Amino acid sequence: MSIRLGRRQFLMGSSALAAAAAFGSGPAWAQGATLRQFFWGGQARADRTYAVNDLFTAANGAGVDSSFLGWGDYWPKLATETAGGNAPDIVQMDYRYIVEYAKRNAIAPLDEYVGSALKLDGFDEDQLEGGKVDGQLYGISLGANSVAQLVNLAAFEEAGIEPPNRDTTYDDIRAMGEAFQSANVRGGIRVIADGSGSEPMLDNWLRQKGLALYTADGQLGFDADAAIEWFTLWQGFRNDGICVTAEDQALDTNGPLETTMVVMGKSAMMPSNSNQLVAFQTLMTDALTITNYPRIAEGVGGGHYRKPSMFFSVGGSSANKELAAEYLSFFVNDLEAAKVLGVERGIPCIEATREAVAPDLNAADQIALEFVANLGDLLGPLPPPPPAAAGEIDASLLRVLSQEVAFGARSPEDAGQYFVSEAAAILQRAS
């Protein structure tokens, strides 16, 4: 009996100890001057972000407890934390998800802080607009970005062909592809990756035709005829050896950059984004550049737009919304912070910070900045944020259908019809 009591006392004692330990560290949580931040990205982005956090702490006294994950892991984790009522104070948000999060109050409207804690003087109007949902500001754009064609200059030089420029059309791509075939360099490298499964490329092509991927009320912005024309265009490219083969394209799983056609040496061009040139250049010794997506005909523009590459938003349940707004203000305004951040998240949205950043940029960053700043007649209006099911339509419909056409399991006509009907069903189910 005495032994039992002894054990019990021991257990009680140790649990009291544990409780004391928990209380001991309690005050550190309760201080409230620490912001929790969560973003997606790689180590390079993390290093820059942490450096800015240190600057913020030095200037403001508030600490920032920051963590990051890759894109694929980021969204489940963020959704889980949000579901658990434990969302971070500062979350990195994407154009694709901002409506979903805003409508569910998972992120907070920032309008009441604008002008006080959150200073947005001189902020690019279109970038500000991109962070609004139903007229309220939910996200601060961390940089502008545009889709862009990644070009392997070295491959073009070997083939003895002029690389594409801002006037290049889809017909020109065909001519280049034929020239590439007869040049037969690098084991028969093709001029372009198979873009039929690339949602941004389809979007760009549709916009040049005056259509849209999605309408403002979240419906499909094109009909089966357009979809059939799209699949037929690429079927022709594939059959004539202009773009890469179905088997090669299937190696690109939309995952790591290493599986893309240009990095694998299968094609000299492929659809990409302006802010990715730096990342691609670190993977390759060949000189790379970016240019716009092809035009559907000479002189037709309006396909591109300056997309907010990503936002910072404030968690809807955050206890420190004002402080978080101050942080966002510091992040986009402070010139020292801007120099640290460079254009890794896209082109800064305030003229003064752009000027502060420009002198220190390397060649690849300069190209990206020039490209996004000078889109000219290629630039069209910012499309409305895509509906909630857009991710599913992209991943499980467009990409799969493009493969089915490529491997001969469906005709372009069949795929076009199916795309439109199935996309409507997916949108219906998600709403």
Partner 1 sequence: MATQVDNTASSGAGRVAPPSFWSGVWQNHAPGYLFLLPWLIGFLGLTIGPILTSFYLSFTHFDLLTAPRWAGLDNYMRMFTNDPKFAASMRVTFVFVIFSVPLKLAFALGVALLLNRGMKGLPLYRALFYLPSLLGASVAIAILWRQMFAGNGLVNQVLANFGIQGPSWISNPNTSLWTLIILAVWQFGSPMIIFLAGLRQIPQDMYEAASLDGASKWRQFWKITLPMLTPVVFFNAIIQTIEAFKSFTPSFIISGGTGGPINSTLFYTLYLYNEAFGFFRMGYASALAWVLLAIVALFTAFSFLSSKYWVHYDD
Enumerate binding residues for partner 1 (CB under 8 A).
4, 7-8, 11, 72, 75-76, 79-80, 82-83, 100-101, 104, 106, 246-251, 253-256, 259, 389, 391-392, 395-396, 399-400, 403-404, 407, 409
CB 250 to partner 1: min, Å? 4
CB 70 to partner 1: min, Å? 12
In DSSP notation, 105-119 reads TSB---GGGBTTTB-
CB 107 to partner 1: min, Å? 10
Q: Report the 10 Å Cβ neighbour count for 43.
A: 8
Beta bridge partners of 192: 243
Residue nearer to partner 1 on the CB measure, 126 or 392: 392
Handedness of CA 257, 259, 264, 266 (dihedral sign): negative
Query: Distance between CA atoms of 266 and 269, rounded to whole angstroms?
Result: 9
- The answer to whether the CB of 262 falls within 8 A of the CB of 253 is no
CB 24 to partner 1: min, Å? 23
- State the chain's maximal CA–CA distance in angstroms: 95
Residue nearer to partner 1 on the CB measure, 125 or 247: 247
Beta bridge partners of 136: 133
Residues in the chain: 431
Residue nearer to partner 1 on the CB measure, 11 or 352: 11
Residue nearer to partner 1 on the CB measure, 302 or 391: 391
Residue nearer to partner 1 on the CB measure, 31 or 259: 259
Query: Distance between CA atoms of 21 and 35, rounded to whole angstroms?
Result: 23
CB 388 to partner 1: min, Å? 9
Tokens read off for 5: 């009591």
Residue nearer to partner 1 on the CB measure, 27 or 408: 408
Query: Distance between CA atoms of 395 and 139, rounded to whole angstroms?
Result: 25
CB 306 to partner 1: min, Å? 28
- The answer to whether the CB of 138 falls within 8 A of the CB of 98 is yes
Residue nearer to partner 1 on the CB measure, 315 or 348: 315
Q: Report the 10 Å Cβ neighbour count for 422.
A: 15
The 10 Å CB-count burial string (b at 16+, else e) for 199-213 is: bbbbbbbbbbbeebb
CB 7 to partner 1: min, Å? 6
From residue 311, alpha-carbon distances to 123, 365, 411 in Å are 14, 20, 40
